[in-house]
Structure 1
């Protein structure tokens, strides 16, 4: 597996400092579990942060240890659900099922054979993932081989992590482990490649901007 599209430095730094909310953390941590290069970059950032901490004298605590730790976590935006970055299995498939790395496997309740898909129309399916933090929406998407996603833009940020299969987005190909970051400047229509359905993890913080009036009409029902 060769990953060509990596998490940006800005997003990785936010992850390293605990500044990301739960949905973004799941996407970044799952990408890092599949990406050795990303884990090395994260380690360098954490080492640099450690040097900065050592060069600044600590301030005395003004309360007991438990209260201070809770206060620090709130300031950093870190919750008890902070996913750990775990190395993925060497095999992408085990027993005929695509392996999902942690932390995503725990949220899904198993690998892809455990997913209870809901129809989106045109042969596509999704599975919303419940979070404690409601600032983002997280879902698995299954796009039929050779079929496009409806053309859309964005009102905020969107992260798309490929878990199985692949898709084309303009001239770029995204396969297992690749992470696409999109924002308000991008209008696109990803197309799943032939031969295998494309299964992705998608995270958004605002509704998509569909070009189709029909999709805009049913968008509140679909929740996308």
Structure 2
């Protein structure tokens, strides 16, 4: 049985994805999560449909929208999203299809690089405005305490991790910004594999961690 997803993408991220305004790394994050989460996929379909409806209406210059047009469009969307196409994922794979396309296959195709304490990463090829990487965190291992200069999104693909306030399992997304300072710890029952994307370097304390940050390009 699939783990129930409790932590979803924000509306701002979903709208940015629908509008095509996100960096490539964040588009990969959204597409991968949508392959696992029916709720967010339905919401994304709604934003796509809304954008198409508004674009269609904007073809006529200087035509004002009626006060009920937004509500009517949303009602049409609600009527049309009941039967979504199934998400594509190879049987037994921990990587949804969008991520398989970047890796070139499944877990055995990942070219891991050690970054210390048993933790490994694989940086994925994306545009420079944001970075995407796979992280392998051994069961029970704590990542260094850190803050954020921008936005970091972490999607669990295998296992789970816990930070100060929440527990994140397969399919869950943690969205962190400059307000969050935390120490993620992998659940003791299984190694944790995540997709993480960032649009700015993380904030680490201490010389050793700062040196490691430069080496790991985090």
Match of residue 160 from structure 2: 166
Gaps of 5+ in 1: 60-84
Distance 1:99 1:218, change over 3 A: closer
Structure 2 residue 218 is the aligned partner of structure 1 residue 216: no
Structure 2 residue 99 is the aligned partner of structure 1 residue 104: yes
| TM-score, length-scaled by structure 2 | 0.83
Match of residue 89 from structure 2: 89
1:77-124 deviations in whole A, cap 9, x for unaligned? xxxxxxxx9714385xx2xxx431121101111111211211010111
Match of residue 74 from structure 2: none
Q: Is the 8 A contact 2:147 2:180 kept in 1?
A: yes
Structure 2 residue 171 is the aligned partner of structure 1 residue 177: yes
Match of residue 114 from structure 2: 119
Q: Is the 8 A contact 1:86 1:101 kept in 2?
A: no
In the TM superposition, structure 1's runs of 4+ consecutive aligned residues that sit over 3 Å from their partners are 88-91
Of the three residues 121, 124, 128, the one matched with 1:129 is 124
Distance across 1 between alignment mates of 2:144 and 2:42: 36
The root-mean-square deviation of aligned C-alpha atoms, in Å, is 1.7
Gaps of 5+ in 2: 62-84
Match of residue 201 from structure 1: 195
Q: Matched residue pairs, number?
A: 193
SS of the residue 1:51 aligns to: helix
| TM-score, length-scaled by structure 1 | 0.81
Q: Is the 8 A contact 1:145 1:192 kept in 2?
A: yes
